[in-house]
Amino acid sequence: MNNAYNFAFFDEGSKREIRRATLKAIAIPGYQVPFASREMPIGRGWGTGGLQLTLSLIGKEDVLKVIDQGSDESVNAVSIKKLVKDTTGVQITDHTSQATIIQSRHRIPEVPLRTDQILVLQVPLPEPLRYFEPSEHETKKLHAEKEYSGAWLMLFEQIMKYGSMTTGADHPVMVHGRYVMAPSPIPRFDNPKMDENEALILLGAGREKKIYAVPPYTRIVSLDFEDYPFEGESFHGKCCRLCGSEGVFLDELIDEATGETFYQCNDTSYCCEILNEAEKAGVN
């Protein structure tokens, strides 16, 4: 641990400001609370929102897991883990079930979360209405008036043009029947995991200076139409080539030499855990 820095990098004043914003965010699920996003030693847009939430929450007893698109070992996840470990000395883990705070970029882990865990999601664009309304002043008004026809119209236009909703990731959701929220660019596959989740989910956008939250057991409904219901990505009939898991989010990979397509778990630590268990059981 590097003692040249404050515990958890921040001065106490910065933590207090983030903490006050977080508490208001929890009290108003899905509402984006503005906060004074601090300068961080990583670039804005590289997870500073999530990092600031993690640093304001973390204590000596916490166990931290950081994932980037399902991977514990990508550059972004490793740098964030290093920074937090250097300034706090907390234990780092790859196992979802062992972590108390999980900071994630664009995925909700495959292992179901528990009540004693907090999921922190990094958010690039917190405003679900920004696609059709460039003014922050106007989108705040639209949220205030619960005027969300634009969000539905956006999905309607996709159906008109392409025959289905083409959001891919970041499919907008309705929180507690009041606010339309960007769930961060998690795949549609992960949207249903947010609904009535057991863990507290905090979302932080560092560049856009917003914090918002989904408390546990909160109703989250992905926006859709009666005749065009919301659907997650389907991996029907496909399984991970390494661990054989079905019903998880799979990455599609193509072997350039043979042109063969194969699939692999996106959540690397989940895949690894399954493989290790199988080995222990003596399957191989």
Partner 1 sequence: MKLDVVHDLQSVYRKLVDSTSRPGLISDLGKEAALLDGENPAGCSRSILLLALTLLDPEVTFKVYGGDAEAFEKEINQLTFAKAVQADKADYLILLKDAGAGSLEHAIEMADPGTFINPHKSATIIAETGIITEGNKLLLSGPGIQTSTGINIELAGNWIEKRNEKNKEYPTGVDLVFVDRNHQLLSLPRTTQITESREVEKEWVM
Q: How far is the CB of 22 from partner 1 (least distance, A)?
A: 7
21: left (phi over 0), alpha (psi -120 to 50) or beta: alpha
**Burial status of residue 104 (CB atoms within 10 A of its CB: 0-12, 13-18, 19 or more):** buried
Residues 142-181 vs partner 1: string with x where CB under 8 A?
-xxx------------------------------x-xx--
Tokens of 139: 């989108």
Q: Which of 49, 50, 206, 243 is catalytic?
A: 243
Tokens of 6: 């404050």
Cβ atoms of residues 35 and 211 within 8 Å: yes
> Does residue 19 interact with partner 1 by CB under 8 A?
yes
Q: How far is the CB of 270 from partner 1 (least distance, A)?
A: 25
Contact with partner 1 (CB under 8 A) among 45, 192, 216, 232 = 216
Coil/strand/helix, residue 181: strand
Q: Give the DSSP letter of residue 203.
A: E
Residue nearer to partner 1 on the CB measure, 64 or 243: 64
Bridge partners (DSSP) listed for residue 173: 181, 222
> Does residue 1 interact with partner 1 by CB under 8 A?
no
Q: Which residues bind partner 1 (CB under 8 A)?
A: 6-8, 12-13, 15-17, 19-29, 31, 33-34, 56-60, 115, 118, 140-141, 143-145, 176, 178-179, 196, 200, 213, 215-219
Catalogue the active-site residues: 30, 239, 243, 265, 271
